A and B are shown apart, each in its own frame.
Chain A
Amino acid sequence: MKKIMDNFTFRKVSQILLKYGIYVMFVVLCIILSFVSPKFLTETNIINILLQTSIIGVIAIGMTFVIIAQGIDVSVGAILAISSGAGVGAIKLLGAPWWLGILVMILIGLIFGLLNGYATAYLKMPAFLVTLATMSIGRGLTLVLSGGKSWFDLPVQFKQLSASNVGGIPVLIILVIILYIIGHYVLKYTVYGRKIYAVGGNPEAARVSGINVKLIIMSTFVVSGLISSFAGILQTARMNSFWASMGTGFEFSAIAAVVIGGTSLSGGVGTLGGTFVGVLIMGVINNALNLWGVSANWQEVARGAIIFIAVMLDAFRTKYVAKD
């Protein structure tokens, strides 16, 4: 009897930890860091962290949608680059006005999203390989388009977007937070969001329940594509330039942030709140490693280890659910 009770409490505690562990971990991490490094909790540093993580944070929103619906999208970094390249290219080479450049960027994101989504949902191609292919296509096209060159001196509107702030908080950060609020609302409170969770949780049951499973899967890739091109706009504005290798490795960081944030790679489970914290954890750890002067090579190792642990926790979570 005692053993059963112990088992029960153990399970309960571990379930709570698995559910909220990410938030606890984040708070503990921040407390430790603020003791270790006095610079950590300064306003400049916090804004610095938020700015550094903002672009990945935006991409991670679309990634959350895709992963909840049992997909994966590794083309996000490439979509960021090709949409920025096409938009800035239109401005620089064809003399298009700034708003047309932005429209082009969004359009490119839409096209890539549709392609990823259609191939995955309707042609039943594996999402990982589809997006790996479109990643390569995107990267290649970026180089073709720009000839490997960078472009600087963009229309003044880009600079305004990144330089302005409201009450000391950069507009960029405010935009990201607004996006998170919208995304959270869509996932949690709309019919569309409910359908994404159902499709990710059990596509067969969703289909029997009259949900258009293919359309929902495709739509998540479209969201991811659009949001990646939006991230492209923000990145271009923030650096006031385009360069061919921008966004490299962002898919990796975004997927990591989503998984650290508790979204299950097997689909159906996850929240944008979790992703938000996941992004912050990644940012805070990067920041700490920088503050301590850890070399870039070791930072790479540390990032890999964090992701390893996050995926391991995800596997445990799946096991717990499977047991009951």
Chain B
Amino acid sequence: MNTHNKKEPILQLEGICKSFPGVQALKGVDFSLWAGEVRGLVGGNGAGKSTLMNVLGGVINPDVGKIIINGQTVTIDNPAVAEQLGVSFIHQELSLFENMDIATNIFIQHLPQHKGVINYKKLYEESKKILDIVGLSHRKPSQAVSSLSMGERQLVEIARCLSQKTKILVLDEPTSSLTSPEIQILFKLMRDLKEQDVSIVFISHRFDEVYEICDNITIMRDGTNIATKPIADIEKMEVVRLMIGRELSEMYDHERVEPGKDLLEVKNLTRKNAFSNISFKLRAGEVIGLYGLLGSGRTELVRSIFGLDPFDNGEVYVEGKKVQIHKPGDAIKNGIALITEDRRGEGLVIDQSVQSNLVLANLSRFSKKGIIMDAKKEQLIGKENINRFKIATSNLKKTVGFLSGGNQQKVVIAKWINTKPSILILDEPTRGIDVGAKKEIYKITDELLKEGVGVFLISSELPELLGMCDRIIVIKNGREVAEFGSDEITNEKILYAAMGVN
């Protein structure tokens, strides 16, 4: 970094703040970037990396803060402005038009044209040049993007950036869908761009890659910039420590319950391209944690156990008996409940009332003979749920979409408790909700454990796992890589296992 000290930074973000309902995602972040630098940006899920870069890309407007590019204070209120200022952004989820050809995708924003008629000859010639640069010379510019592999599509995205006068390139987890030869092409490209004084922000969970390609590293945690250092001056272990930071707070006053009978046993569960040979046993009163980075197969695993997706191999036992679960209804009958990570997408019927949502997973219980809904039973359970889970709503008829995120989540949890499950699977139960609601959700979980429920908890938040779990299973690329008992769990051990750091 010393070599840059004479110059002004190309980009300065000053005091950027951004709140979403229930969470403050960015708490006054300062961030500067120098010309021709590759900067690694690391941090746990929810640390604010993507939010910060979305502010730079004009996708999210900050509440407070200043953006200075080349010494000029600028307002970036939409992606087009970012583009004009030379900021290109490659997102985790690709944004290509799959139905169109490669060349059109590369030049979509400035197609070569004459009086509105596209000059295809020039389009394909220019595209060919760029494809050679990004290592896609074996592909024709006229080929449809849908025929490319995920990795190749990523390279087309980069080609699109190259067709513009990019000064700052943001790559959000670009390697997660690439094969290693493709990664090497990407890295070579990044080095070439660096030569041309382009600055690159490289967001990644993969430390090996960060150490291979980056000059400097910025570590974020809880919406703040914790440290920025030259990569040569900081050990991987130190980075991990900075990422985790906080000590276990008193948020988790989880009392361990003596485990009872076996509730759920999974043997060698395998689903191609998602997870393989996963085995574990969950007992009454026990919490098993499942940790894995994005794309590790953790969500896929529980979806298969719950019957939402099929699996190829393996067996599932409930209370010692082998069960066949082909659809969620089968899982519910066997006393399994799944609180999915996508609250709005899969948890709630957002335009309908709190009441209807609360009874949705077990309609027959609140009906007369499974045919006619029983309004009295419904109201009774509704009131009980509101009291027990402290759901803040003016009444049961209120549309559930009008509640806060934390209260919506409580409705989802209550809905599943109303199925009287013995096995509760929680997938990211506290994502995007405020501290108070979090605490209450932990309290509810504790109560259920005392009643003899077994809990399988998936979370990206290490403190949550450490505070709540009796055992933690770590998976990476769909395989179990480590298991820790409560006495041996530490933040570092889990992260090292999940990231493959030795």
Contact = CB atoms under 8 A, between A and B. Distances in A.
A, B: real partners: yes
A316 to B, nearest CB: 15
Given A198-B356, A208-B308, A209-B328, A190 B373 contact: yes
Nearest to B308: A208
Interface in A186-220: 189-195, 197-198, 201-202, 204-212
A300 interface: no
A201 B401 CA distance: 12
B406 interface: no
Contacts of B338: 208
Interface footprint category on A: 20 to 34
Interface string A58-100: 0000000000000000000000000000000000000000000
Given A190-B373, A321-B401, A268 B363 contact: no
A324 interface: yes
B111 interface: no
A210 B349 contact: no
Contacts of A107: none
Nearest to A209: B361
A211 B415 CA distance: 14
Contact of A205 (B306, B347, B363, B401): B347
A191 B328 CA distance: 18
B370 A212 contact: no
A204 B352 contact: no
Contact of B360 (A189, A206, A268, A321): A206
B364 A191 contact: yes
Interface string B86-97: 000000000000
Nearest to B331: A210
Contact of B346 (A208, A211, A212, A269): A208
B225 interface: no
A10 B346 CA distance: 32
Given A198-B356, A204-B346, A212 B402 contact: no
Contact of B348 (A194, A202, A269): A202
B370 A191 contact: yes
Given A198-B352, A202-B348, A208 B340 contact: yes
B351 A191 contact: no
A324 B349 contact: no
Contacts of B345: 202, 204-205
Given A189-B372, A212-B327, A324-B402, A269 B349 contact: no
A205 B329 contact: no
Contact of B361 (A192, A197, A210): A210
A208 B340 CA distance: 8
B373 A205 contact: no
Contacts, number: 85
Interface string B395-417: 00001011000000000000100
Contacts of A194: 356, 359-360, 363, 373
B368 to A, nearest CB: 9
B189 interface: no
B186 to A, nearest CB: 34
Contacts of A197: 349, 352, 356
A66 to B, nearest CB: 18
B349 A191 contact: no
B372 A212 contact: no
B371 A201 contact: no
Contacts of A198: 349, 352, 356, 360
A195 B306 CA distance: 20
A212 B342 CA distance: 20
A268 B350 CA distance: 10
Which of A192, A194, A208, A268 has the most C-beta atoms of chain B within 10 angstroms of its own C-beta?
A208
Interface in B446-501: none
B367 interface: yes
Interface string B208-246: 000000000000000000000000000000000000000
Contact of B371 (A191, A206, A268): A191
A319 B356 CA distance: 22
B332 interface: yes
A192 B362 CA distance: 12
Given A202-B345, A324-B401, 4 more contacts: A194-B356, A202-B346, A209-B328, A210-B327
Interface of B: 306, 308, 327-329, 331-332, 338, 340, 342, 345-352, 356, 359-364, 367, 370-373, 375, 399, 401-402, 415
Interface of A: 189-195, 197-198, 201-202, 204-212, 268-269, 321, 324
24 contacts: A189-B375, A191-B364, A192-B371, A194-B359, A194-B363, A197-B349, A197-B356, A198-B349, A198-B352, A198-B360, A202-B346, A204-B345, A205-B346, A206-B349, A207-B328, A208-B340, A208-B347, A209-B360, A209-B415, A210-B362, A211-B363, A268-B349, A268-B352, A321-B351
